[in-house]
Structure 1
Amino acid sequence: MSSAATLLGGAEIRALAARLDLTPTKRWGQNFVVDANTVRRIVRTADVSGLDVVEVGPGLGSLTLGLTEAGARVAAVEIDPRLAELLPETVARKQPGARLEVVEHDALTIEALPFSPQAIVANLPYNVSVPVLIHLLERFPSIERALVMVQAEVGHRLAAKPGSKTYGSPSAKVAWWGPWALEGDVSRQIFWPIPGVDSVLVGFRRGPSRGDEALRKRTFRVIDGAFGQRRKMLRQALSGVYGSSAAATEVLERAGVDPTLRGEALALDDFIRIAQAGPTAPAGADASAPVLLED
């Protein structure tokens, strides 16, 4: 079998969709990659040969086949039952012997996979990309790296540094697991249907441990508080977390953080110091609450 025959092309993807009488839906963020060169570029950048990979939203199998072709073992999490049923058949036909496990489930709530993944590689549903990433990183500590395709605005936010206009709650939270960086732009033309937004590749490699799960949850509460009222100074923005502006000021001063700063000026290490300086169970938003794009 030629190398080209192991991946899907645009005509074959449309034929598979027609077989299922499938119309891509915005509800599940379905935009399918129809360009094999882009698939191989993603897989090459992800560098997951021989690794155990979790893929979210495999759809008709474009990226899945690229990952299995490269020698990865893939756990593909698919919410659409029609696609979950068809995917193993497609992969077996194109690449006999490929290592694939399909899990029909909502990636936002998944708690178990057939194996412990070492990497996330996915064309993420754009409407839930950040919450999905954070849930997977929280739930599967074996994940050491990620490369995901997301809406450009989201990708720039994930990779943003303190002080930039795009820096916010998602930027600070995902940094808990390691540094994130933009890995390239993606043309709208490689999708079917063509989306109304630009896309980018963004990735990370796991960094040193920041602390235990209890500290992470306290830190995320502080981040939520700081960006929940991002135009306010920290002493006011964190008053809901620590009970009052005076109490927040006391915690900030113990942490060595200027109470008159705003959240966008702080790096993750600053938020961690604040969490460590405060009580072990501050009031405030649940750290597992959904992360909004606009913060």
Structure 2
Amino acid sequence: MTLLTFRFAPSPNGDLHLGHAYSALLNQKLAARADGRLLLRIEDIDTTRCTPQFEAGVLADLEWLGLGWEEPVRRQSEHFAEYQAVLERLVREELVYPAFMSRGEIRAFIADSEKRGRDWPRDPDGVPLYPAADKALPVKERQRRIAGNAPFAWRLDVDAALARVGKDLSWTEFADETLSATRSIEARPQDWGDVIVARRDIPTSYHLAVVMDDALQGVSHVVRGQDLFSATGVQRLLQQLLGLPQPAYFHHRLLLGPDGRKLSKSLGDTGLAALRHAGASPDDIRRMVGL
């Protein structure tokens, strides 16, 4: 019998806060209830913002909470060669293309289009979709720019990818944290446009790394925040393209601050280390997050 496998996958680019505690403890609770496995993954592909100091803080916070996980811990920064091999496959199959437009060029392109009366489409987070201009570049021009060290990112050609796999994509979503009832959710990767799957200096992105890691680690249940609900459509497309198994998903509620916005590392919201130093106990944290 295959054990159910859950994972908690923080990025060490800041201090963990109560929202992370809820997600970690919920994964622990569900893994224990199923007599399954709990894995810890360090998602540190952003080698500029992620630091050993932040990682040490993450591990200290999780140990203090009483979270237990299987060793070894998977660190994405140690697996760039694996991601590179998959990226090269996508390049060979012409499912990705080099995108050269800078942020300023993107803004100017969109502003010019909107001046002419066209409402520019935006993704579920409200960010304008990437213009399709680079897809029309001849191969020789792409090669010339890359050889000249022009900055670029590899973007997924979503239209080509959907044509390859068919447009009937969905995922299995649990209705609540009891994981008893499920529903089928239509995956709409096209809502995000041509997302970045790698950069020139980092051969992966969050989307590509997460689907590979979940498959390689045998993750059966992805339990994470509601803020990643829509992005699951992109990951389902990549899973289908790459022939990877599909986990079941549960996107849990987000913890909000007093002003109604979700907690954030960047805004210094209620960090676990600060709460610990102020005298809070792990049981206090469980009560604060509703567990």
Fold-level similarity (TM above 0.5): no
Higher relative contact order (CA 8 A, sep 6+): 2
TM-score (norm 2): 0.30
